[in-house]
A and B are shown apart, each in its own frame.
Chain A
Amino acid sequence: EVQLVESGGGLVQPGRSLRLSCTASGFTFGDYAMSWFRQAPGKGLEWVGFIRSKAYGGTTEYAASVKGRFTISRDDSKSIAYLQMNSLKTEDTAVYYCTRMVGGVYGHWGQGTLVTVSS
């Protein structure tokens, strides 16, 4: 069974950093691209970015709203995807979800981790 568990969320001050983790199980992690999404309180879904598998270069793409501030990485030996968030803003407050990408379909999502950016 595919399982994705996000962790690392919490309360952080504006301008500070936070790193989220997405621990995967139930599949060969290294074979898949992984994506991050977020959902601000009471709002809709927003794509954050994704990382390709090593077979496709392990490169990343980001939404314009986070480009230059957020970095996605992966450790295939541990089956973990990371979302490093720097220079956080209050508008980054959201529940952050990781997903597995299969043929462009985001078929499996985690339960999310809440990030609150506030002074």
Chain B
Amino acid sequence: QPVLTQPPSASASLGASVTLTCTLSSGYSNYKVDWYQQRPGKGPRFVMRVGTGGIVGSKGDGIPDRFSVLGSGLNRYLTIKNIQEEDESDYHCGADHGSGSNFVVVFGGGTKLTVL
């Protein structure tokens, strides 16, 4: 099964842009990844799914246009433009693997985004 790697932290100034990275382990370059936002003390919120061709399907409910994704090789990127205070959150990436009794969902360790 794939391993997803995320840097533990990132920061950006109010109004700036930031790109968060989720890296798949070797051999899984065709995998789609889901991004989730988790504000302090809250449950996760689906942002969007990304493959090598970019967004797959629709954004999650209420996700603003400032959020976008790209996929390249083993990397899946989430870019947030014009960062707002409410974007300060943990961002998790996850991917499904296998089927039937071998099915599993794997997650990266999450990136804590601090808005300066």
Q: Which residues of A contact B (CB under 8 A)?
A: 35, 37, 44-47, 61, 63-64, 95, 97, 103-112
Contacts and interface: CB of A to CB of B under 8 A. Distances in A.
Interface in B12-47: 34, 36, 42-46
> Main SS of chain A's interface residues?
strand
B96 interface: yes
Given A45-B94, A61-B100, A104-B96, A109 B49 contact: no
A61 B101 CA distance: 6
Contacts, number: 50
Given A45-B94, A105-B34, A110 B43 contact: yes
Nearest to A46: B107
A45 B49 contact: no
Given A45-B94, A112-B43, A105 B49 contact: yes
B3 interface: no
Nearest to B103: A61
Contacts of A112: 43
Contacts of B54: none
A105 B57 contact: yes
Contacts of A103: 57
Contact of B92 (A44, A63, A107, A111): A44
